[in-house]
Amino acid sequence: MSPVVEDKPLRVLFMCGLNSTRSQMAEGLARTFGGGRLVAGSAGLQATAVDPRAVAVAAEIGVDLSSQWSKVVDDEMLARADLVITLCDPARDSCPVLPPGVAKRHWPITSLDELSKPEVPEDVWRPAYRAVRDDLQARIHGLVQEHAHEEFQ
């Protein structure tokens, strides 16, 4: 049986193609609901703007993404992480080589790219963004529980 982690938070880097929506939501959700057990960051293969629709649906549940910005993943970010979680296939397939001791997981989260266009009506995009938010929140809750009960490897 693995020893329980006492006080060391798990340093998680959420990674996606553009670091605009899914990874930004994941970072904010982990920061807000991580219970002190997660230290979260996010980055992408490219940087762009944070999706205002992601900001809106995160705010509905008390998660503030307004101070976050889009970043490109670099070696320093990877070296600070205990775990890199890729959220899209391009990030999974193009993830840089991780330093020794850094684990990697893939959470295939639904893309919202087609729904982020200005012409998409709110009654179409908002439920899809909420579904992604809720999926991420459930996965993060599971990660917190896992980390609380066993040493992460």
Catalytic site positions: 16, 88, 95
Phi, psi of 87 (to 5 degrees): -115, 0
First to last CA, the chain: 13
Q: Give the Cα separation of 97 and 149 in Å (integer).
A: 28
Ramachandran region, residue 65 (left: φ > 0; alpha: ψ -120 to 50; beta: rest): alpha
3-class secondary-structure state, position 89: helix
Structure tokens at 5: 């982690």
